[in-house]
Amino acid sequence: MTEPATDRLPEDEAPRRLAGQNRIRLIAICFGIAFLAIAGQLTRLTLFPGADPGPQRVDLEDRLPRPDIIDRNGVLLATDVAVASLYADPSKIIDIDEAIELLTATVPDLDAKELRRKLTTSKRFAWLKRQVSPEERDAVYNLGIPGVSYVNERRRVYPQGRLGSHVVGYVDLDTKGIAGIEKFLDGQGALYTASLAQPAEGRTQPAQMSIDIRVQAAMIDEISKAITKFSAIGGGGIVMDITTGEVLSLVSLPDFNPNQENKNFTKDQQNRMTSGVYELGSVIKAVTFAMTFDYGVADLDSLYDARFPLVIGSARINDFHAQRRVLSVPEVFTHSSNIGTAKMALDVGLERHQEFLKRVGLFDRLQTELPESARPLLPKRWSRLATATAAFGHGFAVQPLQGAAVVAGLLNGGHMMTPTLLKRSGKEAMAMAKTIVKPDTSEKMRYLFRLNGIEGSASKADVIGYRVGGKTGTAEKVVNGRYSKDKRLASFIGAFPMDQPRYLILVMLDEPKATPETFGFATSGWNAVPTAGLIIERIAPMLGVAPVFTPEDLDKLAKLEAQAKKGN
């Protein structure tokens, strides 16, 4: 009898079918996992494009945009421009020899040997050239070399070039501040920079300096002319608003161009006004006079015997323009008597002399926004001789800006204000001011400065109508540990208008030489002082100082006009 047919599979067929179904399921699961992984990666890259660092660096740093820098009137001093930089991923270079040949032909200043070293490295990122021109960028991109491309960066540019070099400073290739206000903005000025930020708009407000670029240009021009005329090796100058402590101009020559690529600047190009210390000579006498008045040791009608040199131990202190007579205090000032000034300091006494110098800050490093700041050089041992010589600026060296700040405090009513390179109001300045002398002392100092501008060593700076006053200083420079009779530092510090002083000016010439016009003299009254007069004549109208003419001034103007007509 025959068995009926059935649909049942052979015994060995069922396991084979089940295994095939499992393989299909496994393949489907793998495809599903791969799909989810790809979808997840695409989603992440879409929503968070900056999360993958990779070898291609588009944003070098996650930080606030660098603020523009402007002067007190809104003139642009520093800003960023978009540039491209060439880079390579050596792991993607197929033919290194061909890449080197093409790149050096397209960008001639690329060095083939250095390029080979970069392209044979095991690293996945190497700079080829930073901050290239748009033409170079496009030419390299069009070569189509695998692994060679560019990233967008920022380049710092300085539209005013040399005019603000020492105060504005400069940055490196990664736009990190290296000197001047640029370094301040990255360092201790970080909070100031943050306060300028407008995160919602992705930018920062400009950092506004106290510098007036018009005044800066006039200062550079006149000091450059003086350096040439008197064959000096360098020079500098400062203009400061003594009611706020704002520095309107700070010049140091030789200077530099912050836009140049090679920034290996020489020592001569350092900022002489803050990073160097100098014996300012008789300019420091102003501090001694103020000290003597403030302690009540002397008054304007006091007398000092300057008939003979002052002998202290084996040292003899003499006068450059010896009068060999008893001098009143105003005469000690106008004749710049070392003997009289030293005796004033000795009458004050060693301890009180040091206390006063500490009070006005001359024992400490001056701290401003500029990172380049030198510490004063003081006598190693404060003896009777040290007090006598420091009284007239001998053996006692400070930053020129520091000396200017102290004199500003002596003339503005006695309010010591730390100088600033950032714009600030008079109210802000007074809130942080420190009283260093009595108002009466400041009034006496203004009288002496104006007297010296009329009939003393500062008379060549007295621009008609602007009531200039000041104090001269000529100091011998130290060469190989000894004072040189042939190398001098000539300086002048003054203010205008002296009836209500607003602006202080300091001019310094390093190793000026005598000329036929100076009758063989190289002291400051013949070089730094007239240079200051020329500067004041140019900048006073810019600063809104109105001239006031006395009958004597009108007579002088009439004589000058007559001489001019006669000369024509």
Active-site position among 282, 336, 337, 524: 282
DSSP string, 289-334: HHHHHHTTS--TT-EEE-SS-EEETTEEE--TT---SEEEHHHHHH
How many Cβ atoms sit within 10 Å of the Cβ of residue 51? 8
Task: From residue 446, give the alpha-carbon distance in Å to each of 361, 426, 440, 487.
Answer: 21, 20, 10, 31
Closest C-alpha among 262, 261, 559, 280 to residue 402: 280
Sequence-separated (6 or more) residues with CB below 8 Å from residue 236: 223, 250, 251, 252, 253, 272, 273, 400, 507, 508
DSSP string, 413-439: TSEE---BSB---HHHHHHT-EE-S-H
- 275 catalytic, yes or no? no
Q: Is 474 helix (H, G, I), strand (E, B) or coil?
A: strand
Sequence-separated (6 or more) residues with CB below 8 Å from residue 440: 293
Q: How far apart are CA 9 and CA 159, in angstroms?
A: 91
Label residue 519 left, alpha or beta by phi (over 0 means left) and psi (-120 to 50 means alpha): left
Q: How far apart are CA 449 and CA 31, in angstroms?
A: 92
Place of tokens 């290239």: 132
Q: How far apart are CA 567 and CA 560, in angstroms?
A: 10
**Cα-Cα-Cα-Cα dihedral sign, residues 421, 424, 425, 427:** negative
Q: ∠ CA 412-418-422 to the nearest 5 degrees? A: 105
Question: How many Å is the Cα radius of gyration of the chain?
Answer: 35
DSSP assigned state of 354: H
Residues annotated as catalytic (active site), given as ranges: 282
